[in-house]
Amino acid sequence: MKGKPIISIVGTGYVGLTSAAVLANAGFKVFAVDVDSKKIEAIKQGRSHFFEGGLDSFVSKGVDSGNLIPTLAFEEGIPQSDIVFSCVGTPDKADGSPNLEYIYSAAESIAKNAKNGIIIVQKSTVPVGTGRKLIEHISKIAPKLQYSYVSNPEFLREGSALFDTLNMDRVVVGSDDKAALDRVVEVFTAVNDFAHSVDYSEFNDYRLNNVAKIAPFSEIPFVERTFKMRLESAELVKVSANAFLALKISFANSIAKLAEKTDADIVEVMNGVGSDFRIGRAFLYAGLGWGGGCFPKDVSGLISVAKSYGVSLPIMSAAVEENQSMVNHVVRKIKDSNGGISGMNIAVLGLSFKPGTSDVRKSQSIKLVNKLFEEGAVVKAFDPQAMEEAKESLNGNVKLTGSIAECVKDSDAVVIATDWNEFKEHDWKSEKINIRGDIFVDARNCLNARDLIEAGFEYMGIGR
Ligand code: UGA
């Protein structure tokens, strides 16, 4: 393999499309392969099929330059590719274990079309041990194919996917083949070099500000952020990292409950705790809990895979339990404050699992809306981006509204379920006159309590 490798990316979700767009803008020829014609059609038109700040412009520049080639056909790009990144989804099964069906079918399609010398890079999150099984499987399907297999877990966050892909806090690669590891690292080194020339002004401000505060790694030389390791180690890094972050949030939420009983304020507590450099402030923000397409799946997957090896992880089961309790915790707050919930008009602001994304997978906010409805409340909801996506998972009787003002009008209680900037910046003092009741639950601790109290609300946060 000489010069710049030709790359294929299989799967155009958050990871696949963002990686493809970045690599194409960094000068690589990239085939973006997906079996879903709607997704490929959107990319051909120069846009992403999901909302992610700044991504559309990267996709359109990539397509216009001819470097980003969206295709439904494995036969088009794979035979020319030197490196293929597999970025397909791994949804969880009913028992909590990950469904690896798409991983296997992608590997088969790659193996059938690949040329000798190809490097197959697994970016999808898979249970430890999957790579080894896939290597065996590929060798059965394409016994003559000479290839290398590399695990390269992805750490980007939705809502700042593009920024994270350009500014990698670390690159983790694992394989038996050292030369393949070097080759994959070369690709990311090129991305890191390209990242210096990017104009970040078009990125989603909220996430960028947040990232900038907690991402001092740009000072660290790229080589020191690159970790080459065993295949199985790389696989385990990814799920362990997500599990630990989920654990941190659940820990903060547990302490928040104690803070509520003792007059302590969880934000002050975690400011103090998190300033210990060994602990760190990030992911100690108490609130409604964690959701999304990754944490819930990865934590339950880790528990179930560990079990299959005869290892129990009670610490992670406790984190899940703690997380599940947060929806009821908020419902109870409203109940206690109002003396019951049935018949109350409640406005819920935020449906996505976090701000900056339209993704509602395993969203705690959606669970809260449905729970309030079940308890007999009349629920209205609003989200700046996720209304379409939310429809399917919401109870049909929940009224979706077109704005914050419409949502909160005449309500007895307002709940902030997702910490979108729009809600933080809203003029709650002027809005108060349109709201019937006083109850204001800031379930993401994202507003200034004093401002709300001065505006005439009975402010309740989580752990404060
Ligand atoms: C997560 C990881 O942060 C990424 O590093 C990883 O690459 C990704 O999963 C993945 O496996 O693909 P993401 O799911 O986009 O990223 O979301 P996060 O920003 O981690 O937030 C997860 C949930 O935790 C959200 O519901 C958020 O509201 C909640 N959260 C986060 C808190 O409740 N408190 C906090 O302090 C931080």
Sheet holding 68-71, edge to edge: 68-71, 30-33, 7-10, 83-86, 118-122, 147-151, 171-174, 226-229
pLDDT at residue 181 greater than cutoff 70: yes
Residue with tokens 């991983």: 103
Residues belonging to the active site: 294
At 374, give phi and psi (nearest 5°). -55, -35
Q: What is the position in ligand 1's atom list of the atom closest to the CA of 158?
A: 15
Q: What is the position in ligand 1's atom list of the atom closest to the CA of 154?
A: 7
pLDDT score recorded for residue 210: 52
Mean pLDDT of 320-347: 97
Pick the closest to residue 186 from 457, 22, 427, 4 (CA basis).
4
Of 265 and 197, more confident: 265
- CB-based burial label for 168 (10 Å; 0-12, 13-18, 19+): buried
Mean pLDDT of 120-133: 96
Pick the closest to residue 24 from 57, 52, 1, 73 (CA basis).
57
pLDDT at residue 53 greater than cutoff 90: no
Of 372 and 50, more confident: 372
Summary count for the chain: helices (H), strands (E): 19, 14
pLDDT score recorded for residue 397: 84
Atom 3 of ligand 1: nearest residue by CA position:
157
pLDDT score recorded for residue 206: 47
Mean pLDDT of 315-328: 98
Q: What is the position in ligand 1's atom list of the atom closest to the CA of 288?
A: 33
Three-state DSSP class for 395? coil
Sheet holding 439-442, edge to edge: 399-400, 378-382, 345-349, 413-416, 439-442, 458-460
Query: Where do runs of H (alpha helix) occur along 287-403?
Result: 295-308, 314-338, 364-374, 387-391
- The mean predicted confidence, pLDDT, of the chain is 93
Q: Say what the pTM is.
A: 0.91
| CA of 290 relative to ligand 1 center, distance in Å | 7
User: What are 59-100's pLDDT values in tens digits?
Assistant: 999 999 999 999 999 999 999 999 999 999 988 788 767 899
| CA of 92 relative to ligand 1 center, distance in Å | 17
| CA of 188 relative to ligand 1 center, distance in Å | 23
- How large a percentage of the chain has pLDDT more than 70? 95
pLDDT at residue 363 greater than cutoff 80: yes
How far is the CA of 363 from the CAs of 204, 218, 452, in angstroms? 21, 31, 26
User: What are 205-246's pLDDT values in tens digits?
Assistant: 544 445 544 455 667 889 999 999 999 999 999 999 999 999
pLDDT score recorded for residue 395: 80
Give the integer Cα–Cα distance in Å for 159 and 229.
Answer: 29
Ligand 1 site-directed mutation target among 255, 320, 354, 444, most atoms within 8 Å of CB: 354
Ligand 1 site-directed mutation target among 266, 283, 284, most atoms within 8 Å of CB: 283
pLDDT at residue 198 greater than cutoff 90: no
Which residues are near ligand 1 (CB < 6 Å)? 125, 154-158, 242, 245, 249, 283-285, 287, 289-292, 294-295, 353-354
User: What are 278-316's pLDDT values in tens digits?
Assistant: 999 999 999 999 999 999 999 999 999 999 999 999 999
pLDDT score recorded for residue 52: 86
**Top-confidence range, 154-163, 181-190, 205-214:** 181-190
Atom 28 of ligand 1: nearest residue by CA position:
354
